[in-house]
Structure 1
Amino acid sequence: MKQRALALAGLLQSVQQVRRIATTGGSDTGALAPCVDSLFRIDAETAQDVYGGPANLEPGLRLLFDTASGASLRDPAITRIAVTLLHVERRFSRQPQLMQAVHAGILDIARQREHWGPSHPTVLGRLGELYAGTVSSLRPRVLVQGNPNYLGQPTVVAEIRAVLLAGLRSAVLWRQLGGGYIDLLLRRRQIAEAARAWLDEA
């Protein structure tokens, strides 16, 4: 469960940044970078390696602990978007050609990520284009609400899509580690305990 909890924290941290971008026009780079970087760590052996350690996911782990403990979130849209991404992941994982297209696109963008870093506008823009050309065709659609002034800006929309792709990466990892809806329904206490354990290590 501990490894699965880290994947869920990655998902929540990505969605939290999606909401921040949609409502304020900008992200928390420190929280954003490990989420986006996870896209390029395709062959990582552990969940820790995917995110660079639990310290990089402290915001997501706190969100996960609060959610699994039954606390009322200030932004319930985070849970809604995260659940939608878990549904999208099921469709995505059943389409090998689509998965291959995303994989190839990420490998191509990796050169720019190495040069500029994961949070550079060019990297985020290309990841956003990749999401728009692949994952956005899947249903259910991920609906992101926010400030219309920001959501009308192409660069903001591209950044949101890039971070949604990072969220999907975490959803895929969650499933690969054996996560399922039964965990979310019946094992919330174990998830909260795992999140607390990671926070103690962060």
Structure 2
Amino acid sequence: MSFHNLQSRNIAFAAMCQAAYLVDKIATKGICPDAPAFNASLRSIMHTESDSPLEIFGGYESLQVGFKSMLEQLDNSSNKRNMQVTKYIIGMLAIEKKLTANGSALNLLGERINQVQRQLAHFEIDDSSVLSNLNAIYKDLISNLGPKIQVNGNPSCLQQEQTQHKIRALLLAGVRAAVLWRQIGGKRRQLLFSRKAMIYQTKQDLHRV
């Protein structure tokens, strides 16, 4: 079954928006506003074999935060666009391009994710030890591929180790979503020329939650 269609790309892009939105909230507030969305984003990193975007991200309900954020980013009439979220999404797409072109980094990433999957036999996805592992994967394999994503927020929050781990784990999830988006036909020009169709699809997806 082919997933090269608007509906599948919308799911992957919403996953990027969800990760970026949560990064912004954790960086500014120090706490995650939606634990199920956070866990769904991190679990998507583990789904390396699945073809179905919906299966990777755990269903429409798991992406509710992402769909809402996506509407805020794309629907200019709302005047609610968060420029920090926009910046993080642009950064994820830039890193995806570098990662996809780097075969050795992709292979290492697969090996490191397999290690986390084994860890999940004993710990939950949001356990501090798992977050530490995901943080290390991002620092070792992703952050050096290109321009670093500069996260802005409350300095007192950003100085906390646990906050840093959560943010890098979410950035890793966002890059994973960007890779999928590109694999199923996502292109930057669609954000300009297919915006209305994406907004309509996102509203339909929210009705499925």
Q: TM-score, normalised by structure 1?
A: 0.96
Distance of 2:122 and 2:31 partners within structure 1: 22
CA distance in 2, matches of 1:73, 1:124: 31
Question: Would the alpha carbon gap of residues 186 and 74 (structure 1) be closer, same or farther in structure 2, given more than 3 Å must change?
Answer: closer
What is the letter of the counterpart of residue 173 of structure 2?
A
* Structure 2 counterpart of 1:21, from 26, 41, 58: 26
Question: Which residue pairs with 2:129 in the alignment?
Answer: 122
CA-based RMSD: 1.2
Tell whether 2:209 aligns with 1:184. no
How many angstroms does 1:31 deviate by?
A: 1.2
For 1:154 and 1:121, locate their aligned partners in 2 and report how far apart those are by CA, in whole Å.
Answer: 10
Asked if 1:83 corresponds to 2:90, the answer is yes
Tell me the equivalent position of 1:136.
Answer: 143
Shift of 1:192: 0.7
How far apart in 2 are the matches of 1:29 and 1:113?
17
Is 176-185 or 111-120 further displaced after alignment?
111-120
More helix by percentage: 1
| Aligned counterparts of 1:73 and 1:43: Cα–Cα separation in 2 | 36
Amino acid at match of 1:192: I
Shift of 1:171: 0.4
Partner of 1:69: 75
Is 1:56 the counterpart of 2:76? The answer is no
Q: Percent sequence identity over matched residues?
A: 28
What is the aligned partner in structure 2 of residue 7 from structure 1? 12
Q: Is 1:166 paired with 2:161?
A: no
Inter-partner Cα distance in structure 2 for 1:68 and 1:145: 21
Q: How many angstroms apart in 1 are the aligned matches of 2:48 and 2:117?
A: 11
Report the counterpart of residue 35 of structure 1 in structure 2.
41
Aligned-partner Cα distance in 2 for 1:125–1:163: 12
Q: CA deviation at 1:74?
A: 5.5
> Please, which runs of 5 or more residues in structure 2 have no aligned partner?
1-5
Q: Which residue of 1 aligns with 2:3?
A: none
Letter in 2 for 1:160: I
In 2: Cα distance, 1:6 partner to 1:121 partner: 28
Which segments of 5 or more consecutive residues in structure 1 lack a partner in the other structure? none
Distance 1:120 1:87 in 2: 29
| Structure 1: distance between partners of 2:11 and 2:180 | 9
SS state at 1:114 partner = coil
What is the CA distance between 1:120 and its match in structure 2?
A: 1.4
Question: Paired residues, what number?
Answer: 202
Q: 1:151 aligns with which of 122, 139, 158?
A: 158
Tell me, what secondary structure is at the counterpart of 2:69?
A: helix
